[in-house]
Structure 1
């Protein structure tokens, strides 16, 4: 069980706008308000999950009881490289040629 009983600080529209700016996203005031409400709901849900006592519960490596069957490792599609490279501006030896961007 979590020993941290501190509640997260509520996000406001201004904080969401600052985060959006750092992420180079453009949000208007209405969107910032909506995202702040949504994010606060998510954070509240995470806080309620922290309160669950998981003492004695082993972590799962998979939600399935048995190993998942692997599919056969066989080619199922044709090679389209020639068709794709036919419309490329420049190719050589099966590779795409691009302009040098670093000198």
Structure 2
């Protein structure tokens, strides 16, 4: 497979509205070729019997199940708040709105 040329990098730079110097075109062309080669190597290794995964280790949900449990009554909670108004916590205004 032919590599990415400096002309292709220049074209991509123009499309991206990036201004690249001549030495940057060569540098990025080399880097992009390395990336394409690395992806090709991974594609060669992938076997048909290996299912696609999003993570190398199996993940399980580590959260506990939701359970209804007794909790404080609203009046008990509001009694411990620094400020309350109309059965709600009163907090400082932050957006300057009325």
Give the TM-score normalised by structure 1: 0.55
Q: Following the alignment from structure 2 to structure 1, what is the Cα–Cα distance between the partners of residues 6 and 36? A: 15
Q: Cα gap change, 1:27/1:65 in structure 2, threshold over 3 Å: closer, same or farther?
A: same
Q: Which runs of 5+ in 1 are unaligned?
A: 1-6, 71-79, 94-103
When residues 61 and 36 of structure 1 are mapped into structure 2, their CA distance, relative to the original with a 3 A threshold, is closer
Unaligned runs of 5+ in 2: 64-90
CA RMSD of aligned residues (A): 2.8
Q: Please point out which of 25, 36, 39 is paired with 1:43.
A: 36
Larger Rg: 2
TM-score, normalised to structure 2, is: 0.57
Match of 1:64 among 49, 57, 73: 57
Total equivalences in the alignment: 72
